[in-house]
Amino acid sequence: MSEVLFTNMAQLVTPGAGLQRGAAMRELTVIPDAALLVSGGVIRWVGERAQAPSAAREHDLGGAAVVPGLVDPHTHAVWAGDRLADFEARVQGVPYEDILARGGGIRSSMRATGAVSVEELVRLARPRLQALQASGATTIEVKSGYGLDFAAERRMLEAIRILQAEFPLVPTLLIHVPPTEGRAEYVQAVCEDLIPEVAQAGLAAAVDVFCEKEAFTVEETRAILQAARAYGLQLKLHADQFHAIGGTELACGLGALSVDHLEASGPAQIAALAGSETVATILPGVTLHLGLPAAPGRALIDAGAAVAVGTDLNPGSSPVFSTGLALALAVRLCRLTPAEALTAATVNAAAALGLPDRGALAVGQRADFLALHSRDWRDLPYTLGTSPVRDVWVGGVCA
Ligand code: NIG
Ligand code: FE
């Protein structure tokens, strides 16, 4: 087993391993002049250089600040077509929901995505995933959800499976918007056909639903999530993006891994999340791109919830190709402190995917870490418009 001691870090900065909630999100460990021993892709020792064990090989990180690799817990990185006309209409005042209600928006991405092959989906998604990884993401969740029919949904999941050979991806089956006719039959077929097939083929780790006025009702969402659970899949939810219709309370009650968006969450939804094990995932790229209210990140943490942050990379509501930028936006738009944002983008984002083995620089964790251009980790949440990340290490190997 090859063993490497990484040395010459101006500082190594990490949250504690595992889910961190409330005030614990601000508790980082900062080790000056640190070293990190890695073998078999796993961290074996971490501490001050002066105390480091000897190793077969050393790698000098050139005085960089080192932080855990980021986990992007929410992306829609596989799509075809574009939403450039929607963008022009929206900036001139047409609301996102109106575009969707007229058959555009997500439905236009479904028409374009449904029309291309698996190979084309792979070709289109690859540079997006490269951009996320270069920005610091060492694990990336990718959703389906632009399939017009079940065959198209499976093509999206097959594209994600192919890309797993190149990137550390976590696939999610997203039940995104209902057909305009026959929605009861559609929900039944999702529960009785699509979910069992996807589970048996091992094509997804979780099922997500868009629970919203223009998408699925709470009762439809409940049926889909219960079917997911019956087939051994984890639960996630898009909820409270525009209206708090009860999805958050439902998902917390069902023990979902995460509820994502939360821009319209109020005191009841914040209390439900704070009183549950469900991670509250905020997506500030959507706030920036749609010009809508931000999720109440500050209030969620103050209430004791566990907050994660992701890009929500997608063509319609968040063309954010940088996980590092999502972290930086959480500070500006959702009022997280820099320390809370690092925790949100690492261990809590890993918890939102059910992955307790990553997100912290601690013994036994995967050796996923970032060497920054800076000697001070705070350049990560501070920097906008250029990447503060110099190199990205996944399982102890430079990506
Ligand atoms: O997370 N809100 C629903 N789904 C995506 C948007 C997808 C799209 O606009 O294409 C989201 O924002
Ligand atoms: Fe999303």
- Residue with the smallest CA separation from ligand 1 atom 8 is 316
Whether the per-residue pLDDT at 170 is higher than 80: the answer is yes
Task: Give residue 379's Cα distance to chain centre.
Answer: 21
pLDDT in tens, 355-374: 999 999 999 999 999 999 99
pLDDT in tens, 209-220: 999 999 999 999
- Residue 270's pLDDT is 98
Q: In this structure, are strands 279-282 and 307-309 parallel, antiparallel, or unpaired?
A: parallel
Question: Which residues, 6+ apart, have CB-to-CB distance to 106 below 8 Å?
Answer: 100, 146, 176, 177, 316
Could you list which residues have their CB under 5 Å from ion ligand 2? 312
Class of domain 71-351: alpha beta
- Residue 77's pLDDT is 98
Whether the per-residue pLDDT at 1 is higher than 70: the answer is no
Cβ(109) – ligand 1 distance below 6 Å: yes
Cβ(247) – ligand 1 distance below 6 Å: no
- Residue 2's pLDDT is 83
Least confident span in 6-20, 68-82, 93-107? 93-107
Cβ(312) – ligand 1 distance below 6 Å: yes
Please give the mean pLDDT across all residues of the chain.
Answer: 97
Strand positions, DSSP E, 224-372: 234-239, 258-261, 279-282, 307-309, 369-372
Cβ(310) – ligand 1 distance below 6 Å: no
Residues making up the chain, counted from first to last:
399
pLDDT in tens, 255-272: 999 999 999 999 999 999
Q: Which of 381, 387, 398, 356 is nearest to 71 (CA)?
A: 356
pLDDT band at 148 (very low <50, low <70, confident <90, very high): confident
Mean pLDDT of 162-181: 97
Among all bound ligands, the one having the nearest atom to the CA of 80 is: 1
The domain ranges of the chain are 3-68+358-398, 71-351
CA atoms within 13 A on the CB side of 288: 20
Let me know if domain 3-68+358-398 sits in CATH 3.40.1010.20.
Answer: no
Whether the per-residue pLDDT at 153 is higher than 80: the answer is yes
Task: Give residue 263's Cα distance to chain centre.
Answer: 16
Q: Which of 169, 164, 159 is nearest to 123 (CA)?
A: 159
